[in-house]
Amino acid sequence: MTADRAFLDTNVLVYLFDHDEPAKTRRARELLAQAKPGELVLSAQVLSEFFVVVTRKLKRPLDPAIALKAVDWLSLLRVVALDPALVKAAIQTSRSSQVSYWDALIVTSAAAGGCARLLSEDLNDDQLIGSVRVENPFRDSVGSGA
């Protein structure tokens, strides 16, 4: 595990395209632009959630063809595949850390990807879950709600 490697939660990627949140959009774009090769990791779950959110849940949703191109682009990052062992680890993490199964799957995917940090606004900033520390990259953004 390396302190330089960070796992991107779905919300970080969604803000790349959510033009109703300009401060968060700027911050998300900075994160990707400033990252070194191999530094950012995500999972198949994140790619799936990203597609659904940007095509169905944004006030101004993306056209599915554009969202698919974004998925293709994001797939150039290191992507952690889901398998039965990861599912079982997420179940254990959910039970031991009292987080939802879906959040636990994000955390265990981060650990499987060798990440010491999870960039997310959906969990508590600075929370340590197993070997992964949550960082809210939007905590200083205007209107972050965090």
Q: What is the pLDDT of residues 91-105, one digit of tens each?
A: 999 999 999 999 999
Run of H or E residues at 42: strand 40-43
State pTM to two decimals. 0.92
Q: pLDDT digits over 41-63, tens only?
A: 999 999 999 999 999 999 999 99
Q: Three-state SS for 146?
A: coil
Cα–Cα nearest to 112, from 134, 71, 81, 77: 81
pLDDT above 90 as % of the chain: 92
Whether 140 is in a domain gets the answer no
User: Distance between CA 101 and CA 23 in Å, rounded?
Assistant: 30
Domain around 35: 2-135
Residue 141 lies in a domain: no
| Structural domains of the chain, count | 1
Which CATH number fits the domain that encloses residue 46? 3.40.50.1010
Residue 83 CB-half CA count within 13 A: 5
**How many other CB atoms are there within 10 angstroms of residue 98's CB atom?**
9
